[in-house]
Structure 1
Amino acid sequence: MRTLGVVLAGGQSSRMRQDKALLTLNGSTMLERSVNALRPLLPEVWISRQTDQAVPMADARIVPDTMRDCGPLGGVAAVMEQAVRAGFDAVLLLPVDLPACSAADLSPLMAAGEREQKPVCFSGHFLPLYLPVNSAVLEFTQRQLTDSKARKSVASVFYQFDGIQLPPPDSNALTNTNTREEWLTATREEQHG
Structure 2
Amino acid sequence: MSAQRTVQSLTPASLHALTEKGRAPRLLDVRTPGEFRTVHIPGSYNVPLHTLREHRAELLGHLDEDVVLVCRSGQRAREAEQALAQAGLPNLRVLEGGMNAWEASGAPVQRGPERWDMERQVRLVAGSLVLVTGLVGLAVPGVHLVGTAIGAGLTYAALSNSCAMGVLLAKLPYNRGPRIDIRTVIAELRSAS
Fold-level match, TM-score > 0.5? Answer: no
For the pair shown, the structure with the greater C-alpha radius of gyration is: 2
TM-score normalised by length of structure 1: 0.29
- The structure with the greater share of residues assigned to strand is 1
TM-score, scaled relative to structure 2: 0.29
Higher percent of residues as helix: 2
